């Protein structure tokens, strides 16, 4: 067991030694380069944020003013067509009901005539 623990410790120390050697090879930016790069990144982020804000504002107004009004117009035209269809169907129903009434009245008069004949 002691051998395994020793091997694990050696792997850890060799890993950290290798990492330290690689970090010494890295060329780090000077403070001036770091400042310039930071300003450039913040500038690009702000420009992109402004573009996204403007597009969002434009699309939101387009949605509110154009698409919503168009949707309302379409809904009102469909409502007008539905009411016209309902009025037309109600008129047809009334005509059918009037026709049924006359048929029923005709049957009633026939029944009355037949009963009158029987009574005579």
Q: What is the DSSP string of 61-102?
A: HHIIIIIHHHHHHHHHHHHHHHHHHHHHHHHHHHHHHHHHHH
Q: What is the DSSP letter of 26?
A: S
In 3-state terms, the chain is what percent helix, strand and coil (to 5)?
Answer: 95, 0, 5
Q: How many residues does the chain have?
A: 120
pLDDT, one tens digit per residue, over 28-81 is 999 999 999 999 999 999 999 999 999 999 999 998 888 888 888 888 888 777
Spell out a b/e string for 1-36, using b for 16 or more CB atoms within 10 Å of the CB, else e: eeeeeeeeeeeeeeeeeeeeeeeeeeeeeeeeeeee
- The pLDDT-based confidence of 117 (bands split at 50, 70, 90) is low
How many angstroms separate the CA atoms of 22 and 17, rounded?
Answer: 9
Give the side-chain half-sphere CA count within 13 A for 19: 6
What was the pLDDT predicted at 3?
Answer: 67
């Amino acid at each position: 067991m002691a051998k395994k623990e020793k091997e694990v410790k050696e792997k850890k120390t060799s890993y950290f030694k290798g990492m330290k050697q690689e970090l010494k090879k890295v060329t780090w930016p000077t403070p001036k380069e770091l400042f310039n790069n930071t300003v450039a990144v913040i500038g690009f982020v702000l420009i992109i944020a402004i573009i996204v804000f403007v597009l969002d504002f434009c699309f939101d107004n387009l949605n509110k003013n154009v698409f919503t009004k168009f949707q309302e117009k379409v809904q009102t035209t469909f409502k007008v067509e539905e009411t016209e269809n309902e009025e037309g169907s109600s008129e047809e129903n009334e005509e059918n009901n009037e026709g049924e009434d006359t048929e029923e009245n005709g049957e009633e008069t026939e029944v009355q005539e037949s009963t009158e004949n029987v009574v005579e």
